[in-house]
Structure 1
Amino acid sequence: MYAAAGDGVLDSLAGWVRRMGRVRCDGGWYGKADPYGEQVLAVLSFRYENGKEPHILVVGIDQPSGGLAVDALVEEAKFLDELDLRPTPPESVAKRVLDAFELTDRVMGARVADTLPGVRPFAITRARTVLARTSHDTGPAGSQQEPSAEARLEGLDVSGPGVREAFDVLMEFVGERTLWWSPARVSQFLTQWLPREAILSEAAIEAMPEVVRAWTMRQGGHPDVLRQIDRDAPRLPGLMADDSLASLNKRLSMAAKDR
């Protein structure tokens, strides 16, 4: 009886109401929103099951703050023409969107755009729809991942002494935020993070500037980043030799290694 009554209510609704939520995802894109990738854009495109009303969801994710969702908007598909983004598996984009919103919800007083609260429920629902359909159609969500940083090692000469060791340490620092590579971040890596956290062989310390330059070229070779490397790289051997800069974890690891 209740099911029959429900069918009657549905029949009385406008067509656009009945289509709400019944969308298919046409594709995903991910890329830099600025030259340094300090903000990235995660984009998913949709259209309703009848093939009409194509639209895209665009979510801005702030990298220096840890990956917060700071803005979101819904636009026509032609908006993609103005963006320089790379095609990315939709489920990977959807997971990044949901992770970004989850992080934003955990941070009290997070600075976000005034437009974000109004679009947030729509964005989360759309992203969940992508993961739900991926899980139903092709297995566990996230089974197709964005190419790892390791895949980008192709073309870099790893035969030199210490090169592979240096690259592995760089990738540990870069983590999942591979697109974020600014003068400030490269300086933090060379002058703060390495002396504080990394235990490197002399060969790896010597190779590190060229490895960082090679990674920078893969990220677009921004002149400001290359100039920052030139300024900071000569200081690296001295900083690595200064034990007072080492964190407690590094000191403990070095002591255990010497036993």
Structure 2
Amino acid sequence: MENKETFNLVVNEYEQYRPVYPSEMFEDIFTYVQINQEDSILEIGCGTGQATGGLVSKGYTNITCIELGSNLAQFTADKFKAYPSVQVINTSFEDWNNEGKQFQLIVSGTAFHFIKPEIGYRRAWELLEDQGGIGLFWTIHVPTFDPLHDEIRSHYTALAPHLDDSHYPSPDEVIQERKEITEQSGLFTDIEVKEYNWIQTCSSDEYVALLNTNSKHQQLAEDVRRSLLERIKHSIDDAGGTIDKQHKVALFLGRKNI
């Protein structure tokens, strides 16, 4: 199972426990691209429509959403059925036939990395109007080093050592790599990177439910995942029942290079 397919298995959990993208980010996107509310937007990998909701909340509803997962696509179509101009298409971005349609803005939330850069950036460039732009954004994992997180990290070391985040690239390294990939495509100019940070206090149940929506956790053998999440929950409960989760979202903006 590829990572991009795992979200289709946890649709309701993803909608309930994944934090929404910050409102400020959508304001920054529309400040950058300067499009009208009736202009067309393409969203790549809409998932449960969390980013779609952010666009709609700013009054932009002319949205074509591409989503590979059939359960996710149906969920989002139902979620926005009150907006006839929000269209959800169940297919991959690579296979989608756009029938000549072009867009003023292309966005993608924590999904564009599933597409090979040489394909994704070129196709996005082709689908944009000459004055169009991209707003690609990702949730970035931020490791926390304190006694509770260190104890949780020991559970990963024991059961899923490849998920020990002390060995992950730093958030700055992840962001710099994506910036370089975007620049190296040569297809976009005026590239800007913006970051958004906040802390969420989670109960033990909320925290393990959030982890369970993560594609790398979903790929674990079921017995390993169950044992891992039980140990993590036990550690949080022993520490008082709550844990602070540091969130970071990085936004990459660019204009079509013509």
Using the size of structure 2 for normalisation, the TM-score is 0.27
Q: Which has the larger radius of gyration?
A: 1
Q: Give the structure with the higher percent helix.
A: 1
Instruction: Pick the structure with more strand per residue.
Output: 2
Q: Which has the higher contact order (CA 8 A, sep 6+)?
A: 2
